[in-house]
Chains A and B, each alone.
Chain A
Amino acid sequence: MATTIWKGMITFAETRVAVKLHTAIKEERIGLHLLHRPDLVRLRQEMICALEKKPVPTAEQTKGYEVEAGTYLLVDPEELEQTAPEGSRLIEVHEFVKRAQIDPIYVERVYALEPDTTAAGYDELASALQEMDVAGICTWTMRKRSYFGALQASGTALRLSTLRHADEVVAVSSLALPAIPLTEKELRIGRELIQQLTVPFLPQKFVNEHEKKLAQLIEKKARGEKVAVLRPRLLHPTTEDKLLQALEASLKKAA
């Protein structure tokens, strides 16, 4: 069962809703470790001094802010700790935006919210958010960190997502993508193809098959059996002059 990790109070205008935050995701995956090939000893990650090429214990580490290449302003880790924000129980909603405006690139982690102490206002807030298709942009402080996030309704439940700050997201303009002209015909066939291949999102349809196969591979190796090595499938890239042809053939196949 999901455990409560924090309790807070959603607040805006005259509305107050007491909520509990629950973890919404649980990943259970096969863990592999990194080993040293000659003797299969498990490796450790160490902080290595670039000059002495030796591991440096935590007591001998300090932090520096690079003011120019190779020059640092030393900052005591304890002083940094003091910049942590003060604790508070308020999830302050500052404004509301259309849900679709929040691109998934900003979504960091989603928590499920449950009513705390009293259910007053919970269902009504969820209904209002759902019917208006909006999300509340809010800030709060949890575990010595200030968060920026989105309050949303999903069905009859409330969700709180932590969002990445704008400067944590790599801008598309920095990717230097080439501008290549496309013909109206290519675009039209492309659009038709996508429409043909569009289906409702049914998440239950997808299971992690890889995980089961990996477990089988490990069992096989544990029994000392030989494992067949299969070459990864590689596709031939569609060249520029063959794009239209490939689109037309795809559309024919999809129809």
Chain B
Amino acid sequence: MAQQGIWSGTVSFSLVAIPVRVVRAVTPGRISFRLLHRTDYSPLARRMFCPQHQTLVPPEEIVRGYEIEPGRYIPITDEELESVTPERSRTIEIVDFIDLDEVDPLYFDRPYYLLPLKGGEKSYRLLAEVMHQTNKAGLAKFVLAEREHLVAVKSNEGALLLVTLHYHSELLAADASTPKEIRGSAAETSRIKGSIRKMLAEFDPGKYADARREKVRELLQRKAREQAPVTSPHLEAAEEAGPPDLVAALEEIMREVKQQR
């Protein structure tokens, strides 16, 4: 699967610098539907639209802006955004290594893979292998989609996985990464432990298929028997395979992130 990179730059630790790109590590997975136009069955695409000009706006005509009062914006160019922390906009500098077991899962936000760019393959492989052997993860800060993230870089089966972490100040619940004194009735705790012991297993996420997905699949099978599929109008090849729109891709990620909140 050739995935489009959403960021490219360098991941570094001490004096070693590895050129990489960032790709998504999660896909929607659920049975996905296309939105169609009811009248002509043509697929719909999410695009940026100018309500004033009533036109589609290509990426080169888009600028980011901050609303200082209703309807009034201060435009901020990509170059200015990169200037905010120039040392982090193209570099993921691993400053510390940690035991990932010390990180409360509360901090985990979104996972991405790092993939080596030309010339970085060997040092990439070295970092992945050495982190695997020592069971350590790297800590770094970098800027993705105009936000600075604290990230952990770990090794997953030879790949570098980058997980964005929440900042400590964003935690509403107390961070309990250091175990506190145990409370409660010792007899009840030991009874619960007994039950747990009988239910110990290996983690196998594949076992838990989404029940809803099964239902959707059944609905689709019924539909296939009951009705004929429709065909969308033939579109020019250029339209379907247009150049990937990076702004749209990032907006899509931001939208998903917000939906999860």
**Are B199 and A93 within 8 A (Cβ)?**
yes
Given contacts A155-B179, A177-B159, contact A198 B98 (CB under 8 A): yes
Out of A38, A83, A109, A193, name the residue touching B14 (CB < 8 Å). Answer: A193
A217-247 interface with B by 8 A CB criterion: 217-218, 221-222, 227-240, 243, 246-247
CA distance A40 to B57 in the complex (A): 12
Quick one: which of B122-165 are within 8 Å of A by CB? 122-127, 129-131, 133-134, 136, 139, 141, 143, 146-148, 150, 152, 154, 156-159, 161, 163, 165
- Sampled A-B contacts (6; CB under 8 Å): A35-B65, A50-B235, A67-B224, A75-B220, A170-B23, A173-B157
Q: Nearest A residue to B226 by beta-carbon distance?
A: A73
Report whether B37 and A52 are in contact in the complex, using a CB–CB cutoff of 8 Å: yes
Q: Which residue of A lies closest to B181 (CB)?
A: A156
Cα(A113)–Cα(B133), bound, Å: 35
Establish whether residues A47 and B44, one from each chain, have CB atoms under 8 Å apart when the complex forms: yes
Partner of A75, one of B103, B121, B223: B223
Contact of A26 among B44, B82, B170, B239 (CB under 8 A): B170
Known A-B contacts A24-B172, A74-B227; A61 and B38 likewise in contact (beta carbons under 8 Å): yes
CA gap between A53 and B47 in the complex, in Å: 10
Q: Of B14, B64, B89, which contacts A197 at CB under 8 A?
A: B14
Which of A36, A165, A174, A231 lies in contact with B61, CB distance below 8 A?
A36
Q: Nearest chain A CB to B172's CB is how many angstroms away?
A: 5
Q: Are the C-beta atoms of A134 and B63 separated by less than 8 Å? A: no
Chain A binding site: helix, strand, loop or mixed by DSSP? Answer: mixed
Task: Assess the B47–A48 pair: CB atoms within 8 A.
Answer: yes
Chain A contacts for B120, CB-based, 8 A: 237-238
A37 & B62 in contact (Cβ 8 Å cutoff): yes
Band of interface residues on B:
35 or more
Instruction: Tell me if A210 and B85 are in contact (CB < 8 A).
Output: yes
The B interface, classified by DSSP as helix, strand, loop or mixed, is: mixed
In the complex, A43→B46 CA distance in Å? 12
Pick the residue among A25, A85, A207 that contacts B212 (CB under 8 A).
Answer: A85
Per-residue CB proximity of A22-66 to B under 8 Å, as 1/0?
A: 111111111111111111111111111111110110001111111
Given A47-B44, A102-B203, A177-B115, A71 contacting B183 (CB threshold 8 A): no
Shortest CB distance B71–A (Å):
8
Q: How far is the CA of A236 from the CA of B29 in the complex (A)?
A: 37
Shortest A52–chain B CB gap in Å is: 7
Q: Digitize A152-163: 1 where CB-to-B-CB distance is under 8 Å, 0 elsewhere.
A: 101111010101
Q: How far is the CA of A233 from the CA of B208 in the complex (A)?
A: 45
Given contacts A64-B230, A182-B126, contact A234 B34 (CB under 8 A): no
A15 pairs with B25, CB closer than 8 A:
no
B228 to chain A, nearest CB (A): 9
Q: Does A116 contact B (CB under 8 A)?
A: no
Is the pair A47, B35 in contact by a Cβ cutoff of 8 Å? yes
Contact A190 B106, beta carbon cutoff 8 Å: no
Provide the residues of chain A in CB contact with B117, threshold 8 Å.
Answer: 237
A28 and B210 CA atoms in complex are apart in Å by 32
The answer, among B63, B87, B156, for a CB contact under 8 Å with A35, is B63
- Kindly state whether residue A72 has any CB partner on chain B within 8 Å: yes
A197 — which chain B residues lie within 8 A by C-beta?
Answer: 13-14, 96-97
- Digitize B172-202: 1 where CB-to-A-CB distance is under 8 Å, 0 elsewhere: 1111111111111100111111011111111
Assembly CA distance A30 to B76 (angstroms): 13
Q: Which 7 A-B pairs have the closest CB atoms?
A: A155-B176, A123-B184, A168-B29, A210-B148, A250-B14, A112-B173, A190-B130
Question: Within the assembled complex, what's the spacing in Å between the Cα atoms of A144 and B57?
Answer: 36
Q: Are A175 and B159 in contact (CB under 8 A)?
A: yes
Query: Are A168 and B28 neighbours in the complex by a CB distance under 8 Å?
Result: yes
Question: In the docked arrangement, what's the CA distance between A127 and B216, Å?
Answer: 40
Q: Establish whether residues B102 and A201, one from each chain, have CB atoms under 8 Å apart when the complex forms.
A: yes
Whether B33 pairs with A45 at a CB distance below 8 angstroms is: no
For the complex, give the distance between the alpha carbons of A200 and B126 in Å: 23
Contact of A56 among B44, B103, B192, B234 (CB under 8 A): B44
- Given A40-B75, A85-B211, A178-B121; A74-B85 close (CB under 8 Å): no
Assess the A104–B100 pair: CB atoms within 8 A.
yes
Task: Knowing that A193-B130, A240-B121 touch, tell me 16 more A-B residue pairs with CB under 8 angstroms.
Answer: A25-B166, A35-B64, A44-B51, A45-B47, A50-B45, A50-B240, A64-B41, A85-B211, A95-B199, A102-B105, A104-B105, A123-B182, A177-B115, A201-B177, A238-B17, A243-B16
Question: CB distance B223 to A159 under 8 Å?
Answer: no
Complexed CA–CA distance, A32 and B40 (Å):
36
